C-alpha cells in the first residue's frame, strides 16, 4: 500500500478531508470539483482496476465548497473476481491520505414497497448477507481493534445533516437499511421477499465491505443509495444494468445538489 499512497501524495497539493465513493451512473458529480487533479486507477501502483460499465476508475482530488475532497469515480466489486482484500484496498489507501469522513454512494434496488425508482435513500444501517468480512485475517491494532463495534456505524449526526440538507433544498429522501448481496446476478423475487422480512429497504452489490474497513480505521460514514429500480418481483418487468445507469443519470441533478449541500454543511 505504501507505493500507492506515495504515488498519489506526489501528485496532489492538499490533504483531502472528505472521501466520496460514487456508484453506478453517479459519476457526473465529479465534474463539479474545482482545482481538479485526476489519477486513473491504472496509473497507481498495486491499485485494482474497475471493470464495470458506469465506473470510470479514477481518483479525483480538488475542492468543493471550501473542503478538500478525494472522489473515487467508480469502485471495485467482489463480483468482478477480485479478492475481498482488493475490494477494500482503495478505501485503505484514501484513509492513509488523511480523510476523516467517507461518503459512500451506490445504486440499489428498492425492497421497501413504499419506495420508487429515483428515490434517494440515506442509509441508517446494513445487513451483510454476503457472509464475508474484510477484517478476517491478521489484525493491526495500530489501525483498529480486533473486534469492531458497529454501533452508530452510519453516523447519526451525518444522517441528520443529510436530512436537513435535503429539506433545505426541497429534495425528498427516504431512510433505510441496505442489504448486501454479492451479485452479479440480481436478487431473485424470493430473495427480495426475504430481504424485506429481515428488515431491509434496499439491496445492492457494494458498499458494505468499504464501510466496514472505513469504520475499522475510525472514519465517520454517511451512506446514500439511489434507488435505480425496484427489486425483482416488485414490478412485472425484468431488470437491466443499462436501466440502472440511466436512472442514475436521471437523478444526478438532485443527487449533485444534495451532495454539494452536505459537503458544504460538514
Q: Which residues pair with 128 in a beta bridge?
A: 180
* Type and span of the H or E element at 70: strand 67-73
pLDDT at position 129: 84
pLDDT at position 33: 86
Cα distances (angstroms) measured from residue 246 to each of 24, 35, 71: 9, 28, 21
Q: Which domain holds residue 121?
A: 2-265
pLDDT at residue 53 tops 70: no
Q: What percent of the chain has pLDDT over 70?
A: 97
Domain count for the chain: 1
Which domain CATH number covers 261? 3.40.50.1580
pLDDT at position 10: 96
H helices within 20-115, ranges in order? 84-87, 89-96
The x, y and z cell numbers of residue 32, run together, are: 463539479
Mean of pLDDT values over 81-99: 96
pLDDT at residue 73 tops 60: yes
Q: Please indicate, yes or no, whether the overall pTM of this predicted structure exceeds 0.85.
A: yes
Q: Which residues carry out catalysis?
A: 24, 55, 77, 79-80, 107, 205-206, 229, 241
pLDDT at position 54: 56
Closest CA to 92 of 182, 2, 203: 2
Mean of pLDDT values over 75-96: 95
pLDDT band at residue 55 using 50, 70 and 90 as cut-offs: low
Average pLDDT score, the chain:
92
Higher pLDDT among residues 242 and 199, named by residue:
199
The answer to whether 203 touches 195, Cβ cutoff 8 Å, is: yes
pLDDT band at residue 230 using 50, 70 and 90 as cut-offs: confident
The answer to whether 217 touches 96, Cβ cutoff 8 Å, is: no
Amino acid at each position: 500500500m505504501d507505493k500507492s499512497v506515495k504515488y498519489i501524495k506526489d501528485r496532489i497539493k492538499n490533504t483531502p478531508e472528505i472521501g466520496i465513493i460514487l456508484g453506478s451512473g453517479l459519476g457526473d458529480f465529479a465534474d463539479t470539483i474545482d482545482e481538479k487533479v485526476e489519477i486513473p486507477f491504472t496509473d497507481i501502483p498495486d491499485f485494482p482496476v474497475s471493470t464495470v460499465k458506469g465506473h470510470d476508475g479514477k481518483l479525483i482530488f480538488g475542492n468543493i465548497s471550501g473542503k478538500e475532497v478525494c472522489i473515487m469515480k467508480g469502485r471495485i466489486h467482489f463480483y468482478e473476481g477480485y479478492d475481498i482484500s482488493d475490494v477494500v484496498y482503495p478505501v485503505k489507501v484514501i484513509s492513509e491520505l488523511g480523510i476523516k469522513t467517507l461518503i459512500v454512494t451506490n445504486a440499489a434496488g428498492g425492497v421497501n414497497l413504499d419506495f420508487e425508482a429515483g428515490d434517494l435513500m440515506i442509509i441508517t444501517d446494513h445487513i451483510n448477507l454476503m457472509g464475508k468480512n474484510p477484517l478476517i485475517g491478521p489484525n493491526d491494532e495500530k489501525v483498529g481493534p480486533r473486534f469492531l463495534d458497529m454501533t452508530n456505524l452510519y453516523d447519526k449526526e451525518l444522517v441528520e445533516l443529510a436530512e436537513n440538507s435535503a429539506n433545505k433544498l426541497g429534495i425528498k429522501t427516504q431512510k433505510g437499511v441496505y442489504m448486501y448481496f454479492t451479485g452479479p446476478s440480481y436478487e431473485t423475487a424470493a430473495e427480495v421477499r426475504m430481504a424485506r422480512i429481515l428488515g431491509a429497504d434496499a439491496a445492492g452489490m457494494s458498499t458494505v465491505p468499504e464501510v466496514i474497513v472505513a469504520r475499522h480505521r475510525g472514519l465517520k460514514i454517511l451512506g446514500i443509495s439511489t434507488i435505480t429500480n425496484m427489486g425483482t418481483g416488485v414490478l412485472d418487468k425484468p431488470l437491466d444494468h443499462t436501466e440502472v445507469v440511466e436512472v442514475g443519470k436521471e437523478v444526478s441533478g438532485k443527487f449533485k445538489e444534495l451532495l454539494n449541500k452536505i459537503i458544504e454543511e460538514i
